[in-house]
């Protein structure tokens, strides 16, 4: 296995690639020395307030609706522990390891900012847990996205205290105390302000946004390739993707998708075989002709979402924060609205890209529209069903993606005795986007499986270099045209090629 370079935390905002490296590829983290100095300086501010008889929120008071309740010094350790235990109230299935690691990393980045007031020991403990592969069990439900991802972050903090359950580096479910002991990590005993600092953040929804953007960049290239296979095998034209036509509408995402289609189709013998006035068709259907417009709109949505993610990665999210001039100031930066909105926006684009892909797949099945291919691409018409039901599966997924495109961020259910009377639902938006991305990958896999069979059925006409190479890749896991067979395993295998990025890589390697 290739060793992954370590990621430095605390020196500068984390780039998205670093989040993916730690979350998905287990890259180790290291702490910037200057960051630890700033952390210690901010902690000194908190310690000075801890002995002040005047109440200070989060230091010597309760939380949320109990913010006006003064807590005596001898009860504050219990206060911090109680905060974490009570807020670790997630329920449902375990959240994926990569999401939890992103959550851990992004909270660590904020803790290392020198604006939260925790001790350097807290920062070092979070880094040690990541490097030891200790992944706290975080549950699916529990976050309203304001004040940030409270419940998911509380599960992380609980594990750092040596309580609750975790997955160790091997993936085994063990008590947190056991995992910490095995890694030589002392459980944290939280002091003033530290409990709040560990749970006030948008880290869960942001981590899922960064992972989604990484995956969608690959999937939109795959969508362009899938469209190229459909256009080519259905004897469509690439003339409509010309650069001068795209320049008449200078939408950057559309231009990028059109450039991909020109590269995938430009040297295709199959496309060249029917060029000229003798073709007889005036123009292709929208699902073929307008592929760059639909895919490009998703690319532009991604660009906006990436801008928001970049700003959030450069943010310090906590309440209260220790400012550069030494104030401890309450604020509302933990509200997840900016992130929640783009998570929902992406879900809309994912549904649209999947929808047009399914329409291209459906055209390949219909002898009235597929220009000479057999019905459902079946081997023996009337006996075999071919890929008929594969298209049903794509249609069913697209229907679900349309439901998942309904925004979560327009909802709000007040909490904390109306103190938190407007919430973002950003965690929910992120969770449904992850499901939507999986669905998009499956719809594209069905289109690619269909396109591969259609290209084979066009023999002796030859596919282009990129589409032909992807067809050959598909043939390593799925047989070509022939009598009906158990189709589900082939669909799953091609889906794995899509979701792993293999299809996109092969396509790029064979661009003319």
Positions annotated as catalytic residues are: 57
| Closest C-alpha to 380, from 485, 239, 234 | 485
Determine the 3-state secondary structure of 310 from DSSP.
helix
Q: Does the CA dihedral 151-153-156-160 come out positive or negative?
A: negative
Q: Give every CB contact of residue 267 below 8 A, 6+ residues apart in sequence.
A: 464, 465, 512
Cα 485 to Cα 483: distance, rounded to the nearest angstrom? 6
Q: Residue 253: count other Cβ atoms within 10 Å of its Cβ.
A: 21
Taking the mean position of all CA atoms in its chain, how far away is CA 99?
A: 9
* Alpha helical stretches, state H, 88-202: 97-111, 120-131, 150-160, 176-183, 194-199
Treating both helix axes as pointing N-terminal to C-terminal, what angle do 388-404 and 426-457 enclose, rounded to 10 degrees?
A: 160
The strand order across the sheet containing 165-167 reads 135-136, 165-167, 173-175
Q: What are residue 322's DSSP bridge partners?
A: 328
Treating both helix axes as pointing N-terminal to C-terminal, what angle do 426-457 and 488-499 enclose, rounded to 10 degrees?
A: 120
Q: Does the CA dihedral 234-235-239-242 come out positive or negative?
A: positive
Q: Is 338 exposed, middle or buried (0-12, 13-18, 19+ CB in 10 A)?
A: buried
Q: Is 474 exposed, middle or buried (0-12, 13-18, 19+ CB in 10 A)?
A: buried
Cα 319 to Cα 201: distance, rounded to the nearest angstrom? 9
Secondary structure element (H or E) that encloses residue 218, with its range: helix 203-233
Cα 427 to Cα 286: distance, rounded to the nearest angstrom? 35
Phi/psi class of residue 330: alpha, beta or left (left: φ > 0; alpha: ψ in -120 to 50)? beta
Q: Does the CA dihedral 487-491-492-493 come out positive or negative?
A: positive
CA 457 vs CA 166, 379, 453: distances in Å: 52, 10, 6
| Closest C-alpha to 322, from 8, 44, 18 | 44
Which residue's structure tokens are 């030859």? 462
| Closest C-alpha to 109, from 308, 296, 315, 302 | 315
């Amino acid at each position: 296995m290739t060793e992954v370079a370590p990621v430095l935390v605390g020196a500068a905002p984390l780039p998205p690639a670093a989040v993916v490296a730690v979350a998905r590829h287990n890259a180790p983290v290291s702490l910037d020395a200057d960051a630890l100095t700033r952390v210690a300086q901010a902690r000194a501010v908190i310690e000075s307030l801890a002995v002040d008889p005047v109440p200070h929120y989060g230091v010597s008071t309760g939380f949320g609706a109990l913010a006006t309740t003064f807590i005596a010094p001898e009860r504050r350790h219990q206060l911090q522990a109680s905060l974490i235990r009570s807020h670790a109230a997630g329920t449902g299935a375990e959240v994926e390891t990569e999401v939890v690691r992103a959550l851990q990393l992004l909270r660590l980045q904020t803790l290392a900012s020198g604006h939260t007031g925790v001790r350097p020991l807290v920062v070092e403990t979070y880094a040690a847990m990541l490097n030891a592969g200790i992944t706290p069990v975080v549950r699916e439900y529990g976050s309203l996205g304001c004040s940030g991802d409270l419940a998911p972050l509380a599960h992380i903090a609980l594990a750092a205290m040596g309580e609750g359950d975790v997955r160790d580096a091997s993936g085994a479910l063990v008590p947190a105390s056991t995992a910490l002991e095995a890694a030589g990590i002392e459980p944290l005993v939280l002091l003033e302000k530290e409990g709040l600092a560990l749970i006030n953040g948008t880290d869960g929804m942001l981590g899922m946004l960064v992972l989604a953007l990484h995956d969608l960049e690959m999937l939109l290239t795959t969508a362009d390739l899938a469209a190229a296979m459909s256009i080519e095998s259905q004897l469509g034209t690439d003339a409509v993707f010309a650069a001068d036509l795209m320049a008449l509408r200078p939408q950057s995402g559309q231009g990028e998708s059109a450039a991909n289609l020109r590269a995938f189709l430009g040297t295709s013998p199959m496309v060249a075989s029917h060029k000229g006035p003798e073709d007889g068709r005036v123009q292709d259907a929208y699902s073929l002709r307008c592929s760059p417009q639909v895919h490009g709109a998703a690319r532009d949505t991604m660009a906006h979402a990436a801008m928001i993610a970049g700003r959030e990665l450069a943010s310090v999210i906590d309440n209260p924060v220790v400012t550069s001039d030494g104030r401890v100031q309450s604020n509302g930066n933990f509200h997840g609205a900016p992130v929640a909105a783009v998570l929902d926006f992406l879900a809309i684009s994912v549904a649209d890209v999947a929808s047009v892909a399914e329409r291209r797949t459906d055209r390949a099945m219909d002898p009235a529209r597929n220009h000479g291919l057999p019905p459902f691409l079946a081997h023996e018409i009337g006996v075999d069903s071919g890929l008929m039901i594969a298209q049903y599966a794509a249609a069913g997924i697209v229907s679900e993606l349309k439901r998942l495109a309904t925004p979560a961020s327009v909802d709000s259910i007040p909490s904390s005795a109306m103190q938190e009377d407007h919430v973002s639902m950003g965690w929910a938006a992120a969770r449904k986007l992850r499901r939507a991305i999986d669905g998009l990958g499956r719809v594209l896999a069905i289109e690619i499986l269909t396109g591969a069979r259609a290209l084979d059925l066009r023999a002796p006409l030859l596919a282009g270099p990129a589409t032909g190479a992807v067809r050959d890749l598909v043939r390593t896991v799925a047989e070509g045209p022939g009598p009906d067979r158990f189709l589900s395993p082939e669909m799953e295998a091609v889906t794995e090629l899509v979701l792993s990025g293999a299809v996109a890589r092969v396509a790029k390697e064979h661009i003319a």
